[in-house]
Amino acid sequence: MTDQRTQVGGGRNLFGDFAPKLAELTDDVLFADVWNRPELSARDRSLITVAVLTAGGNTDQLSFHLDHAVKNGVTQVELIEAITHVTLYAGWPQGMAAMGVAKQYFSNNQ
C-alpha cells in the first residue's frame, strides 16, 4: 500500500483565513494522517468515502470526492456501481441525488 500517491487536503486553501482550526484539522489530521494510513489503500478509502457521503445525503462534498476517487484509481463504472449499491441500503433519495452529482461530474470531466 506504500506505492500510492500521498493524499493531500485543501482545507487551508479553502478556509485557512476564515476557519484556521478547521483547515488545520482537515489538512493535518484527516488527510495527512488518516488518508495516508497504510491499513487501507487510498482507492479503498475513496470508495468508502463516496459510499458514506451518498448514504448520508451529503452531496456538497461528493464532487470533490468523486474527483479524488478517480485520481486514486477508481473508475467511473465502479463509482456508479457503488452509488447504485448504496442506494438500495441507504435510501432512494440519497442515491438519486448522489447519482445526479456523479452524472454532472463525469459529464464535465470527460
- What is the average pLDDT value for the chain, to the nearest integer? 92
Q: Which residue has the higher pLDDT, 79 or 8?
A: 79
User: Domains in the chain, ordered, with CATH?
Assistant: 1-39 (no CATH), 41-110 (1.20.1290.10)
Round to whole Å and give the CA distance between 4 and 72: 8
> How many C-beta atoms surround the C-beta of residue 108 within 10 A?
8
Q: What is the pLDDT of residue 10?
A: 79
Round to whole Å and give the CA distance between 30 and 49: 12
- CA 30 and chain centroid, separation: 12
Average of pLDDT values for 61-81? Answer: 97
**Per-residue pLDDT for 3 more than 70?**
no
What pLDDT, in 10s, does the model give residues 8-43?
777 888 888 899 999 999 899 998 899 999 999 999
**Per-residue pLDDT for 6 more than 70?**
no
- CA 12 and chain centroid, separation: 18
pTM > 0.75: yes
Cell numbers for 98, please give them.
448522489
